[in-house]
Chain A
Amino acid sequence: NAGVTQTPKFRILKIGQSMTLQCAQDMNHNYMYWYRQDPGMGLKLIYYSVGAGITDKGEVPNGYNVSRSTTEDFPLRLELAAPSQTSVYFCASNLRGLATDTQYFGPGTRLTVL
């Protein structure tokens, strides 16, 4: 049981490049989330999904896209990377939705846009 896994761990992008951050969970959770954490700040919700095929915007969705074709995977796509997207990105999941029960977090992807 690996829990929530994320790849890559680190990435440096140039301005204008695109990339996909991968997230997978093996706990059969319906709900999955993407957060970003800027230095010295709390986490902000980017997008979330309530099940395969269903996604919704969080607090800071601009510049990102998501898809959820399977229960296990929830990739985050960055189009036209900007320095403001330099951050640590966390994927999380839980069973009963939003914050009604514990969210399980992945180890994070540290992204730098230069």
Chain B
Amino acid sequence: KQEVTQIPAALSVPEGENLVLNCSFTDSAIYNLQWFRQDPGKGLTSLLLIQSSQREQTSGRLNASLDKSSGRSTLYIAASQPGDSATYLCAAWNSGNTPLVFGKGTRLSVIA
């Protein structure tokens, strides 16, 4: 059974810093891995989706990488801003009728 872990649970950084959020998964036979952002009291917004055949995906200041062999994905945020403060969740999908398996998230605070 797929399990997804995100460490740390919370992270606080000063504005302008580059940072990395970590996600690990137990079953490397994933079809894709997805990163979401959740603002307090809101739903999830999809940030990046990496197919199993890809190594990374980029969107603006965000870069997500995937290493299936080690069971890890990272989300790199460049030049962090206070508006980046949110909870970031990763989710792994193993295809077929299996559901997306979510991690518990990392709560990021960017301090001005």
Query: Which residue, A43, A99, A105, has most C-beta atoms of chain B within 10 A?
Result: A99
Binding-face segment, B12-20, B62-70, B71-79, B100-108: B100-108
In the complex, what distance in Å separates the CA atom of A106 from the CA atom of B31? 24
Q: Could you give, for residues 36-64 of chain B, a 1 whenever the CB lies within 8 Å of some chain A CB and a 0 otherwise?
A: 00000111111001000000000000000
Q: Is A102 an interface residue (CB 8 A)?
A: yes
| Residues in A whose Cβ lies below 8 Å from that of B98 | 98
**Distance (whole angstroms) from the CB of A53 to the closest CB of chain B:** 18
In the assembly, what is the distance between CA of A35 and CA of B104, in Å?
14
- In angstroms, how far is the closest chain B Cβ from the Cβ of A66? 15
> Contact: A58 with B99, CB < 8 Å?
yes
Closest Cβ of chain B to A56, distance in Å, is: 7
Do residues A42 and B32 form an inter-chain contact, with CB atoms below 8 A?
no
**How close is A54's CB to chain B, nearest CB, in angstroms?**
12
CB distance from B95 to the nearest CB of A (A): 8
Number of A positions contacting B (CB below 8 A) = 24
Of the residues B42, B100, B104, contact of A41 by C-beta under 8 Å = B104
Contact with B along A12-41 (1 / 0, CB 8 A): 000000000000000000000000000011
Contact between chains at B46 and A103 (CB < 8 Å): yes
Binding site for A on B (CB under 8 A): 4, 9, 31-32, 34, 41-46, 49, 89, 91, 93, 95, 97-105
Q: Show the binding face of A for B, using Cβ within 8 Å.
A: 4, 40-45, 48, 56, 58-59, 90, 92, 98-108
